[in-house]
Amino acid sequence: MVKFRANRKIPSCGLRISIETISSDKEFNAFMVEDRPGEQLVTLSRSMYNETIKIEATMFDGYGVVAPNSRDEDTDDEQLHISVLVDITKGEGGDTLEFICSAWQERLEIQKLYVFGLNGRSLQPYIGPDFSDKEFNAFMVEDRPGEQLVTLSRSMYNETIKIEATMFDGYGVVAPNSRDEDTDDEQLHISVLVDITKGEGGDTLEFICSAWQERLEIQKLYVFGLNGRSLQPYIGPDFRVVDKKLQSSLYDFLNARGINDDLSVFLHRYVWNKDKLEHMQCLKRLKSYVER
Digit-coded pLDDT (tens) for 31-65: 999 988 888 889 999 998 889 999 999 888 777 77
User: How many Cβ atoms from other residues are within 10 Å of residue 285's Cβ?
Assistant: 14
What is the Cα–Cα distance from 60 to 267, expressed in whole angstroms? 36
Q: Indicate the pLDDT class of residue 149, thresholds 50, 70 and 90.
A: confident
Read off the pTM: 0.52
Buried b (16+ CB within 10 A) or exposed e, 235-255: eeeebeeeeeeebeebbeebe
What is the Cα–Cα distance from 221 to 242, expressed in whole angstroms? 11
Give me the domains of the chain, ranges plus CATH numbers: 2-116 (3.10.280.10), 135-272 (3.10.280.10)
More confident residue, 99 or 278: 99
Query: pLDDT tens digit string along 88-117?
Result: 988 877 778 888 888 988 888 888 777 776
Q: What is the pLDDT of residue 125?
A: 43
Residue 103: enclosing H or E segment and its boundaries?
Answer: strand 96-104
Q: Indicate the pLDDT class of residue 21, thresholds 50, 70 and 90.
A: very low
More confident residue, 3 or 252: 252
What is the Cα–Cα distance from 260 to 245, expressed in whole angstroms? 17
Most confident of 71-80, 82-91, 93-102, 190-199: 190-199
